[in-house]
Amino acid sequence: MRRLRRSEAMRALVRETSVEPGDLIYPLFICPGEGVRRAIGSMPGVFNLSVDEAVREAEEAAQLGLGGLLLFGLPEAKDEQGTGAWDESGIVQQALRALKNSAASKKLVLIADVCLCEYTSHGHCGKVIETADGWTVDNDPSLALLARTAASLAKAGADVVAPSDMMDGRVAAIRLALDKDGLNDTPILSYASKFASAFYGPFREAADSAPQFGDRKTYQMDGANLREAMREIDLDLEEGADMILMKPAMPYLDVILAARERVDVPIGAYQVSGEYSMLQAAFEKGWLDRDRATLESLTSIRRAGADFIVTYFAKDAAKLLG
C-alpha cells in the first residue's frame, strides 16, 4: 500500500476526494448602517457587516473562486410576527439588490436563508401561541409567513431560497408562492435534516436569534434519529425541494452519507458555528495545525457525500487551496 503514498505527486494522483473553492459557500450576517464591520466574539474572523461591507466581502469571495454566499439578516427592529423577514426594504433584501448590482454576482450563487428567528421578538422560527401547556410554535399559520418571506427574497435577487425553519410543509408552501409570483426558476435548498444541536450557540450571537423562552426541540430534529432524518428528506423532496442541506456537518457525517446513498439530488452540508469556533479555539491554543485541520475537516464532509459545504472557513480554505 505504501507504493502509492511515496510522494506528494503520487498521493495527489490517486486521491479519491477533493475540495475546491467552488464547493464552498460563505455565510454573511448583514446588519444596518454603513461601514459597519463588527467582530463576533465567539467566532474569530467573522463579522456583522453593513451592506457596503458585504459587497466588499462578495468581491473577495468571487476573486477567490467561492461557489456562493448564504445571507442572514439582523433587522433594525423585531416584532412578534417577524415582519422584517418579508419587508421589501428589509436588510437582506437591500443586500441582495446591492449584490446583484455588483460584478461579484456574476460569479457567485446568492442564497437567502428563509426563517423568522432573526426577525421575531421571541426568537422562534415561526408564529407562537399560548396553550394550556405554555407557549408553542404554531406550525400551519407560520407557513404563509415563510412563503411570503421566500418570495420577497427571490424578488430582491436571491438565486436560491433556503428554508431553515423546520416547519412541516414549508417547502410546498414556498414552492406554491414562488410559482404564483412567476418565480418558477428559483430553486429551493431545503434544510431537510436540521438537528436541535448544541453546536449552534455562536451563531445565535452572530444573528441575535436566541429563543427568549423554551427551545427548538419540538420542531428541529432529535440528534439520535437517523431514520427520521431520511423521512424528513423524502418529504421535502416530495414537496418540491431542488437541493437539500444537512446541518450540522461533522457531528452528523453518518446522516450525510445515508442521504447521499438514498437520493440523487445535490446535497450540501453546513459546517456550523460551533464546529468553526471549536476549531478556532484549538488553533489559538496551538493544539491543532490551523491549515491542516481546516482542510481535513472540509475533506471529511465532502468524503461523506456533500457536493458543497457552507462554512465560515470558506475564504481561508480557498486561499490554502490556491
Listed residue (128, 142, 193, 200) closest to 170, CA to CA: 142
pLDDT at 2: 94
Structural domain contains residue 12: no
pLDDT at 133: 75
Query: In angstroms, rounded to a whole number, what is the distance separating the alpha carbons of residues 70 and 164?
Result: 12
Structural domain contains residue 10: no
Q: What is the chain's pLDDT, residue by residue, as a tens digit (322 residues)?
A: 999 999 999 999 999 999 999 999 999 999 999 999 999 999 999 999 999 999 999 999 999 999 999 999 999 888 888 888 999 999 999 999 999 999 998 999 999 999 998 898 887 888 888 777 778 888 899 999 999 999 999 999 999 999 999 999 999 999 999 999 999 999 999 999 999 999 998 887 776 677 766 677 788 899 999 999 999 999 999 999 999 999 999 999 999 999 999 999 999 999 999 999 999 999 999 999 999 999 999 999 999 999 999 999 999 999 999 8
To the query of whether residue 180 is one of the catalytic residues in this protein, the response is: no
Listed residue (22, 120, 131) closest to 67, CA to CA: 22
Catalytic option among 107, 127, 194, 315: 194
Which residue segment(s) compose the domain that 63 sits in?
Answer: 20-321
Query: In angstroms, rounded to a whole number, what is the distance separating the alpha carbons of residues 322 and 317?
Result: 8
* Three cell numbers, residue 130: 399560548
In three-state secondary structure terms, 111 is strand
Q: Phi then psi for 262, rounded to 5 degrees?
A: -95, -40
Listed residue (108, 10, 96) closest to 51, CA to CA: 96
pTM of the model: 0.95
- Please count the CA atoms within 13 angstroms of the CA of 294 that sit on its side-chain side: 19
Structural domain contains residue 282: yes
pLDDT at 94: 97
Which secondary structure element, helix H or strand E, spans residue 76, and what is its range? Answer: none
CATH number of residue 235's parent domain = 3.20.20.70
Structural domain contains residue 307: yes
Structural domain contains residue 76: yes
Structural domain contains residue 152: yes
In three-state secondary structure terms, 246 is strand
Sign of CA dihedral 201, 128, 194, 160: negative
Say which residues have a Cβ less than 8 Å from residue 226's Cβ, sequence separation at least 6. Answer: 254, 255, 258
pLDDT at 127: 85
Q: How many domains does the chain have?
A: 1
To the query of whether residue 319 is one of the catalytic residues in this protein, the response is: no
Catalytic option among 247, 285, 315, 319: 247
Structural domain contains residue 220: yes
Structural domain contains residue 292: yes
Listed residue (294, 315, 277, 319) closest to 57, CA to CA: 315
